[in-house]
Amino acid sequence: MYNYSASYGDRYEHKKAQSNLNGFRQSNERFKQFYLNPDYETYIIEYTGDILKAFESISYAAITVTGPVFALVALPKGELNTLLQDIPQIIYVEGSFPFSLSPYKVVNTNDYYNFMDGTNSALNGEGIVVGIIDTGIDYLNPRFMTRDGNTRIISIWDQTLQQGTSPKSIAYGTEFSKEDIDLAIKAKNTGKNPYDIVAHRPENEHGTAMAGIIGGRRLSDKDFFTSAAPNCEFAVVKLKKAKESTLEQTGVDKEGVDVYESADIRMALLYLSELQAKTNKPMVIYTPFGSNVGGHDGGGPIERYVDSLTQRRGLEAVENTGEEALANTHTSGMFSSTGEERIIEVSVDPRQKNLYVSIWMRRPDRVSMGINPPIGNGTGRIPSIFKEGEEVRIQIGESIATIKYYVSFINGDQYVGILIRNAYSGIWKITVYGDYIVNGRFDAWLFQRDLLYEDTRFLINDPFITLRLPSTATSMLTASYFDSETKTPVPIAGRGFTRDGRIKPDVCVGGTNILTTGLNGADIVISGAGAAGAIICGAVALIMQWGLVLGNDKNLFTSKIRTYLITSVTEMEGITYPNPQSGYGMLSFKKLFETLDVL
């Protein structure tokens, strides 16, 4: 029996948050119909006052509250401005943006890196729940079972299945309990179909591989398999694919790529946070996906949502930096004075139908834009004098450019969103006019590389500030990765720091040639950012076991966990730390166990 329990303050805050959510439960079915409708758009909002009462008279939109100031709304295309006029309690609105899975590749080798440094510690993750938001898990894999054949998965929420019972506080998907999964395992062992009981199947091996690194179990004493927390439990969310309306709204048009969306990710975070409070067990959530959409400064809704959830003791979140450093999806520039002009050049692949560019300035700087296509006439200067968030549409030959100017209500920074539909192939030039310059720096991002065709890129690449959201959240524990054999950074790994100058990544870890498990129980060796984040997630699970479950640090919050990680790194001679590629250094599990005094 372990002695972790939430403090009175933790329980009070959860109870208060739950009371704010109770009002929307009776309208779950309506929200489900609206939200899953492919012709309806989804928006993330922040609000003040009694938002549920404000929506009582609205028939064309549905809402679900995800926190004291956050909610999701679903409504028909083209009705957003009407909603904003009808509901003045909405103070901020953002579309549901595209996310993609953390990259990794399967390596054809029998040699793999033992990231546990050959250590033998009493820490094994027991008493800790690892939440994984991904493509699902192979729950029939014995590496996720106890020695007696029972599952270590306490819950699966499959967003793609709509015929079963949804979680109580969430409108869609199907939830499976530990008891359901154990019954399915017994059915398989007796020759019956387990999927008649638990219909969940992983979309691919991604989620299973991440879970294997974090907490896969050895099957015998002769088994060479290694994971960080082999006795942990799992709570799994399988994300559904982004709706067609979301892809259309954001301009994502690349074929053959899996795209997910921020609205579903927020609901997954809500589900896991509520499950953590319900079970009263410490939980670390791994979020192996990312997006380039946002200011990379921790100020976006999904980043602040992560921060709000992890204020509660016993709930942490881990992310990796992605692999955008050499992807030509980030560029930057400097003004020296007001009145200057700078040009951003973007190559558009012939297969690319749409182009999205976001440009960010630091307050109090203000800029305006002009757009010049590869052929024909440009727009000239488009002044930023119209209403905040109002969009301007301009015909450029056969292309249509939509430009929106914003000022962040979090930090006052200006940002500009440019979406060019039916974009000509070739070199587009975006002129940035320095209307008022004090700081001078600007940053621009395209979508993450896997959502773009090969030749869609900035002509000038800036490899820094290429860590993907939500790794930039203040409370997110963030990992980059290095080559396991050479102990040097991998050039493609996403780099910090954040746009507002915070040190990210926190640490790095060997992320090449990592042994894990795939579908149907097969062992595989993988390399990539996703593997590195999974290793750090396992390390955080061990710190939480040591501190909260075993009682060595009852006052364990994110800042302390970050400190334990940082004090457990090795530094390469001649390299200055912290740095944007490896943070404070390379995590050593041996040093971590020495720090925690468990060897």
CB burial of 81-98 (b: ≥16 within 10 Å; e: otherwise) equals: eebeeebebbebbbbbbb
Question: What is residue 465's DSSP assignment?
Answer: S
Query: Does position 10 have pLDDT exceeding 70, yes or no?
Result: no
Backbone angles phi, psi at 25, to 5 degrees: -65, -35
Question: Are 572 and 493 contained in the same domain?
Answer: yes
What total of structural domains would you count in the chain?
3
State residue 12's pLDDT score. 37
Note whether 502 and 562 are within 8 A (CB): no
Per-residue pLDDT, averaged over 180-209, amounts to 98
For residue 586, give the nearest of 481, 439, 460, 471 by alpha carbon.
481
- The arithmetic mean of pLDDT across residues 199-213, rounded, is 97
Report the pLDDT averaged over residues 254-266: 96
Per DSSP, 40 falls in state E
CATH number of the domain at 46, please: 3.30.70
CB 402 within 8 A of CB 95: no
Asked if 321 and 338 sit in the same domain, the reply is no
Q: What is the pLDDT of residue 2?
A: 44
Work out whether strand 233-238 and strand 153-158 pair parallel, antiparallel, or are unpaired: parallel
Q: Distance (Å, rounded) from C-alpha 437 to C-alpha 421?
A: 30
Which of 311, 225, 268, 293 has the alpha carbon at shortest distance from 136?
A: 268
The answer to whether residue 3 sits within a structural domain is no
130 shares its domain with 51: no
CATH code of residue 415: 2.60.120.1290
Same domain, 336 and 292: no
Q: Quote the CA–CA distance of 555 and 117 in Å, as a whole number.
A: 28
Show the domain range for 86: 8-95
What's the one-letter identity of residue 186? K
Is 359 within a domain?
Answer: yes
CA 298 to chain centre: 12
Residue type (1 letter), 395: Q
The rounded distance, in Å, linking the Cα atoms of 398 and 423 is 8
3-state secondary structure 293-327: CCCCCCCCHHHHHHHHHCCCCCEEEEEECCCCCCC
Q: Kindly state whether residues 221 and 293 are assigned to the same domain.
A: yes
In whole angstroms, give the CA distance from residue 258 to residue 419: 21
Predicted confidence (pLDDT) at residue 237 exceeds the cutoff of 80: yes
580 CB-near residues (< 8 Å, 6+ apart): 464, 495, 496, 497
Q: Which of residues 495 and 3 earns the better pLDDT score?
A: 495
The reply to whether 442 and 495 lie within a common domain is no
Mean pLDDT over the full length of the chain? 93
528 within domain boundaries: yes
408 pLDDT band, cuts 50/70/90, is confident
Determine, yes or no, domain membership for 2. Answer: no
pLDDT at residue 8 above 60?
no
DSSP state, residue 545: I
Report pLDDT digits (tens) over 103-132.
999 999 989 999 998 788 899 999 999 999
The confidence score (pLDDT) of residue 164 equals 94
Sign of the dihedral defined by the CA atoms of residues 285, 129, 509, 449, in that order = negative
C-alpha span between 135 and 424 (Å, rounded): 35
- CA–CA separation, 117 and 545 (whole Å): 19
Cα-based distances in Å from 224 to 113, 221, 595: 11, 8, 26
Q: Could you give the count of Cα atoms lying within 13 Å of 78 in the half-sphere of its Cβ? A: 1
Same domain, 384 and 316: no
Q: What is the mean pLDDT of residues 311-328?
A: 97
- Say if 1 falls within a structural domain: no
Residue 298 and residue 392 in one domain: no
Is the pLDDT reported for residue 1 higher than 70? no
- CA 95 → CA 34, 115, 347, 427, 491, distances in Å? 16, 39, 25, 28, 32
Residue 357 in any domain: the answer is yes
Give the CATH number for residue 174.
Answer: 3.40.50.200
pLDDT tens string 564-598: 999 999 988 889 999 999 999 999 999 999 999 88
Residues 162 and 220 grouped into a single domain: yes
* Angstrom distance (rounded) from CA 118 to CA 11: 39
β 507-510/341-348 pair status:
unpaired
Higher pLDDT, 493 or 11: 493
Name the band, by pLDDT with cuts 50, 70 and 90, for residue 391: confident
pLDDT digits (tens, 9 = 90+) for 16-67: 444 444 444 445 788 999 999 988 999 999 999 999 999 999 999 999 998 8
Which of the listed residues 69, 95, 121 is the one where a domain comes to its end? Answer: 95
HEC string of 230-290? CCCEEEEEECCCCCHHHHHHHCCCCCCCCCEEHHHHHHHHHHHHHHHHHHCCCEEEECCEE
37 vs 76: CA distance, rounded Å: 9
Domain boundary (95, 113, 128) is at 95
DSSP state of 77: T
Model-level pTM? 0.94
In a domain, 283, yes or no: yes
Terminal-residue alpha carbon distance, the chain: 22
pLDDT band at 11 (very low <50, low <70, confident <90, very high): very low
Is residue 182 in a domain? Answer: yes
Query: What is residue 574's predicted lDDT score, i.e. its pLDDT?
Result: 85
The residues that bridge with 527 in the sheet, in sequence order, are 105
* Contact in structure between 472 and 459 (CB atoms under 8 Å): no
User: Is there a single domain that holds both residue 417 and residue 496?
Assistant: no
Q: Whole-angstrom Cα distance, residue 454 to residue 577?
A: 34
Distance of CA 369 to the CA centre of its chain: 30
Q: How far apart are CA 311 and CA 273, in angstroms?
A: 11
Strands 457-458 and 354-361: unpaired
Pairing of strands 477-482, 391-396: unpaired
Do 23 and 122 lie in one domain? The reply is no
State how far Cα 344 lies from the chain centre: 28
DSSP single-letter state for residue 228: S
| Boundary residue ending a domain (95, 130, 147) | 95
**Domain match, 367 and 278 both:** no
Residue 568's pLDDT is: 97
